[in-house]
Amino acid sequence: MGKKEHALFKKAFTESKLDQDIIRAVSSYLKGAINFTLNTGSSPKEWMEALLSHGEKLLTESTSEDRLQGDWIQQVIRYVNENYMNDIGIGQIASEFRVTPNYFSSLFHKKHGITFVKFLTETRMLNAKELLLKNPTIKVQQVAENVGYFGSRHFTKLFVEYFDCYPSKLNKKNDWIHISTTGQ
């Protein structure tokens, strides 16, 4: 908030006669937006002082919050690595970490360098490839379900984009490599 906005905000709170509906609405907004509780028994001048003090506190905490964000991203990565096979998405994980989906998405991209959706897809594809290589007889539909996809069509399309071959061909490539290296 700039100086002009601050002055107008202060003027509105100190000079205007506020009704209880406005006070409740502003209080609710401040509680949700910045976790600030408006003491309804105080005067508007006391509200401004408390609000300014709370704002300064938030600014000093933001530097320590930046350090925590790295830990937070690591928790998300760990969560994805442990749950990639489930139906997970931005909204569900954002809720789990008590942030908005937009904030989660933006922060993840900023801190990790790729979007969350790309990270989740990449994690699933790498695990699918590993599963296919370990179990040459496994069905593509079963691999798709084991890594979090309900249909093999979408899974196959993504797999081809990532590895430039069909999942069913990877098994055959693996068999051929195995046969040629063992001399059979």
Please tell me the pTM assigned to this model. 0.58
DSSP track, the chain: --HHHHHHHHHHHHHS---HHHHHHHHHHHHHHH-----TTS-HHHHHHHHHHHHHHHHHHHHHHHHHHHHHHHHHHHHHHHHTTS---HHHHHHHTTS-HHHHHHHHHHHHSS-HHHHHHHHHHHHHHHHHHH-TT--HHHHHHHTT-S-HHHHHHHHHHHHSS-HHHHHHHHHHHHHHHHT-
Average model confidence (pLDDT) across the chain = 79
What domains lie within the chain, and their CATH numbers? 1-62 (no CATH), 118-182 (1.10.10)
**23-37 pLDDT per residue, tens:** 777 777 677 667 777
